[in-house]
Amino acid sequence: MRILVTASSKHGSTDEVADAIAERLGAGGHEVDRIAPEDVESVDAYGAVVVGSAVYILQWIPQAHDFMDRFAEQLEGMPVWAFSVGMNGVPKHAPQDPTRIGPLLTRVEANDVRSFAGRYDPEVLTLRERSVARLAGVVEGDFRDWDAIGAWADSIVEELAAHE
């Protein structure tokens, strides 16, 4: 099956997660296109879509919102998986609550929605972003759980195989 993996990333962490998911789906026997949301012109050629975004102040990045708005009707008729990458719950590693991430994911019925902890590198953030992170008690580090990300991608491969 041909799968679109698209994700909005502000500082690169979410792009790296999307790349890992795309690679795992490809290893599972699927043809995968990894395209930034703003560069997607159509979803007609795909049998499934995996869409993700970095989360800032409980919201997806505007490019991810725009992607979901542009393709809402087509996405309603196909399997969709969604993921978010952010620092909510870090450093305690508490899982994020995807229902708190704006109204975006409620517009399209996703097969599954996952939240993954991200990476906090204050050197790449704006002053405002650093201030918000400091107030939230975020500590510096890379908290992405690559095993969990890979396992989630594998579960997508398994779910697609069960429906083929």
Per-residue pLDDT tens over the stretch 99-117:
445 445 556 788 988 889 8
pLDDT value, residue 106:
54
Which superfamily, per CATH, for 2-163? Flavodoxin domain (3.40.50.360)
Q: For residue range 19-62, what is the model confidence (pLDDT) as tens digits? A: 999 999 999 999 999 999 999 999 999 999 999 999 877 788 89
Residue type for 37, please?
P
74: helix, strand or coil: helix
Average pLDDT over the chain, rounded to an integer:
86
Tell me the two tokens of residue 70: 């542009």
| pTM, entire model | 0.86
Query: Residue 154 — pLDDT band, cuts 50, 70, 90?
Result: very high
Measured distance CA(78)–CA(143) in Å, rounded: 31
Buried b (16+ CB within 10 A) or exposed e, 58-95: ebbbebbbebbebbeeebeebbbbbbbbbbbebeeeee
Alpha carbons 17 and 116: distance in angstroms, whole number: 9
First and final C-alpha spacing in the chain:
9
How would you classify the pairing of strands 119-120 and 141-142? Answer: antiparallel
**3-state SS, residue 150:** helix
